[in-house]
Amino acid sequence: MPEARPPLFASDWLVGAPYDDVPMGVLKTGKESEVHLIARIGPERTSLIAEKRFKERRSRGFRNDYRYAGVWGAGGRREARAIRNRTRFGQQAIQARWIDHEWTTLTRLYEAGVTVPPPVEQVADGYRMAFVGDGDRAAPRLTEIDLDRETARLVWREVQLEIRRMLEADVVHGDLSAFNVLWWRGRAVLIDFSQAVDAVTHPAARELLVRDVERAASYFVRMGVAIDVRAALAVVGDSPARFASQLLSS
Per CB under 6 A, does 71 bind ligand ATP? no
CA 199/CA 107 separation, integer angstroms = 16
Residue 133's binding partner among ligand ATP, Mg ion, none (Cβ under 5 to 8 angstroms by kind) is ligand ATP
Binding segment for ligand ATP (CB under 6 A), chosen from 8-16, 32-40, 166-174, 219-227, is: 32-40
Q: How far is the CB of 1 from ligand ATP (least distance, A)?
A: 26
The burial class, CB within 10 Å (0-12 / 13-18 / 19+), for 22 is: exposed
Binding segment for ligand ATP (CB under 6 A), chosen from 14-22, 27-35, 91-99, 232-240, is: 27-35
Residue 114, Cβ neighbours under 10 Å: how many? 22
Per CB under 6 A, does 191 bind ligand ATP? yes
Q: Which residues make up the interface to Mg ion (CB under 5 A)?
A: 180, 192
Helical pair 149-168 and 205-222, crossing angle rounded to 10 deg: 170
Per CB under 6 A, does 138 bind ligand ATP? yes
| Complex with ligand ATP: residue 160 or 194, whichever CB lies closer | 194
Taking the alpha carbons at both ends of the chain, their separation in whole angstroms is: 31
Q: What angle do CA 2, 200, 168 make, to 5 degrees?
A: 10
Per CB under 6 A, does 232 bind ligand ATP? no
Binding ligand ATP (rule: CB under 6 A), the pick from 28, 45, 86, 149 is 28
**DSSP assignments along 168-218, one per residue:** HTTEE-SS-SGGGEEEETTEEEE---TT-EETTT-TTHHHHHHHHHHHHHH
Q: What residues line the site for ligand ATP (CB under 6 A)?
A: 27-28, 30-33, 35, 50, 52, 117, 129, 131-133, 138-139, 141, 179-180, 191-192
